Structure 1
Amino acid sequence: MPLDHRRLRGPEESRPPALWAAAGEVPEERDGAGAPRDPCALRPLFVRAGLLSQAEGSAYVELGGGTKVLCAAWGPREAADPGAGGGRLLCEFRRAPFAGSGARARPGSAAEREAEREAALALREALEPAVRLGRYPRARLAVSALLLQDGGSALAAAISASAVALADAGVEMYDVAVGCALCRAPGPAGPWLLQPAEAEERRAAARLTVALLPALNQVSAVLGDGEGGSPDTWAQAVRLGLDGCHRIYPLLRQSLLRAARRRDATTAAATAAVPEPR
């Protein structure tokens, strides 16, 4: 894959601006070492669909704590291979050079490309069961997710944003895929936490991302790694993640409804502005 020269190549080493702030103005570091939080609590979520005019469908998702993901969707378009039988879903996941606050891989390096490739494969695995690819023979659909800021639960936010972008583009889907991330706190009896922050993910003994089609009650993807304990512990984490997906689902639907109303209002205003022929 050629190097993307349009990317902003930031400095190799960066430091947070709080280091240069006055002593009394330095904010407390959000490392999760303070008071224990409710493991079942969801972080505040903001979703907006139809944000980009250059794409056929788009969505922006922001989680409380700093995670920001912008997704765009295109298609259906004619596939490059005319012999392709069914529709294809192409997924891309990119990470902005300034997305993380800590150490990062060199932009365009092999480590960063491999991480983005794995995230794109996970994104495609979670979205394919939700899209009716059989309705688009010999066509391709494309989804591009850009991680603007990594505050934890980035892949889950990208799954939800990509599904909303596809629905905003008018792609026929069985349901909107909802992503929810979890992590297990270190220790022999560490609890599973819903929508962990970046510091919690960094210290976690195990991580899990669940994708669900709530209307069908069908799991589209389960992605996890680490040492989560016994199988019953993992089953408990999956149930907790599914409950989180059901609670996020109404927010995604409301964002699509608001986008449809804005589009209808814009169309009506444009129609009213056109003078009637005499």
Structure 2
Amino acid sequence: MPLDHRRVRGPEESQPPELWGTGRKDEEDVEDEAPRDPCALRPLFARAGLLSQAEGSAYLELSGGTKVLCAAWGPREAGEAGGTGGGQLLCEFRRAPFASRGARWRPGTAAEREAEREAAAALREALEPAVRLSRYPRARLAVSALLLQDGGSALAATISAAAMALADAGVEMYDLAVGCALCRSPGPSAPWMLQPGEPEERRAVARLTVALLPALNQVSAVLGGGQGSPPEAWAQALRLAIDGCHRLYPVLRQSLLRAARRCGAATATTTA
């Protein structure tokens, strides 16, 4: 068989690259050695107005690996199925095949479709109280969320990013819906942890995700479940989540203000 001289021949013997690594420890072991403050929020990066193909968009990233991209469209005519009342809010949630560690998420499976439907329903439940749907009769608003990487607190990050995308699209809203997640590890004295990472969520026996309208101090959604926690513990978790949402609110507002300034500067430059 003739040789292909356009290809570079590899070595006859090779070793796995792990042999030349720096001895990096597993993420769970690192977190066990240096536990963080349960009431501390993870650093957050948010930016609005990234996608030119959408009327509104937002990207949100949490320290630890969670990355979510949201886009919003509307209002558009809902057609005959829209009814005569207020507008409709349609939410879509998709998960990238490479979003989680380990084996890839298999797209198109029944488990995947069910998980995405549940996440989309939770997203709609959290966003509907924030949007003034009565101002858009016989109209339709659409929100699409793509989870690029799941590093923990994915649903809470998606709620915040979707609310930012709607605001960036110019949709009339009562307030931004801010999401905050908590989880509780096994043990009678284990505390609730704000914005848990993926390893912490994997070990948790109870989880809670809260969506809040901070300016109105109104809870728009409470999602969660678990076992081994008395009612007083759930009440404490709700208070912690509300406090976390209030602390995240200024960051999201500043991101929207920066996006509005960029849009205004671009419009002024084009006009000139």
TM-score (norm: length of structure 1)? 0.89
How far has the Cα of 1:79 moved from its partner?
A: 0.4
How far has the Cα of 1:190 moved from its partner?
A: 1.2
How far has the Cα of 1:114 moved from its partner?
A: 0.2
Q: Contact 2:67 / 2:148 at 8 angstroms: preserved in 1?
A: yes
Please state whether the residue corresponding to 1:27 is helix, strand or coil.
coil
**Greater mean deviation of Cα atoms: 81-90 or 150-159:** 81-90
Q: Does 2:86 align with 1:55?
A: no
Taking every aligned residue pair, what percent have the same amino acid on both sides? 78
Deviations, residues 61-112 of structure 1 (Å, cap 9, x unaligned) = 0000000000000000000315342211000010000000124542110000
Give, in whole Å, the separation in 1 of the partners of 2:84 and 2:24: 55
| Corresponding residue number in structure 1 for 2:17 | 20
Deviations, residues 114-139 of structure 1 (Å, cap 9, x unaligned) = 00000000000000000000000000
Equivalent position to 2:27, from 27, 30, 43: 30
| Corresponding residue number in structure 2 for 1:169 | 169
Q: Which has the higher Rg, Structure 1 or Structure 2?
A: 2
| Corresponding residue number in structure 1 for 2:111 | 111
Q: Does 2:125 align with 1:125?
A: yes
Equivalences for 1:1-278 in 2 at 5 Å?
20-31=17-28, 32-80=31-79, 81-272=81-272
Please state whether the residue corresponding to 2:129 is helix, strand or coil.
helix
Q: Contact 2:184 / 2:207 at 8 angstroms: preserved in 1?
A: yes
Give, in whole Å, the separation in 2 of the partners of 1:251 and 1:236: 24
How many residues align? The count is 254
Aligned residue type for 1:208? L
Please state whether the residue corresponding to 1:108 is helix, strand or coil.
coil
Aligned residue type for 1:120? A
How far has the Cα of 1:165 moved from its partner?
A: 0.2
Give, in whole Å, the separation in 2 of the partners of 1:115 and 1:135: 31
Q: Contact 2:85 / 2:134 at 8 angstroms: preserved in 1?
A: no
Deviations, residues 45-64 of structure 1 (Å, cap 9, x unaligned) = 00000000000000000000
Give the 3 Å change call, closer, same or farther, for CA 139–228 of structure 1 in structure 2: farther
| Unpaired stretches in structure 1, ≥5 consecutive residues | 1-18, 273-278
Q: Contact 1:184 / 1:228 at 8 angstroms: preserved in 2?
A: no
Kindly report the root-mean-square deviation, in angstroms, between the aligned alpha carbons of the 2 structures: 1.3
Q: Contact 1:228 / 1:234 at 8 angstroms: preserved in 2?
A: no
Give, in whole Å, the separation in 2 of the partners of 1:26 and 1:181: 32
**Greater mean deviation of Cα atoms: 206-215 or 102-111:** 102-111
| Unpaired stretches in structure 2, ≥5 consecutive residues | 1-15
**Greater mean deviation of Cα atoms: 183-192 or 193-202:** 183-192
Give the 3 Å change call, closer, same or farther, for CA 26–84 of structure 1 in structure 2: farther
Please state whether the residue corresponding to 1:25 is helix, strand or coil.
coil
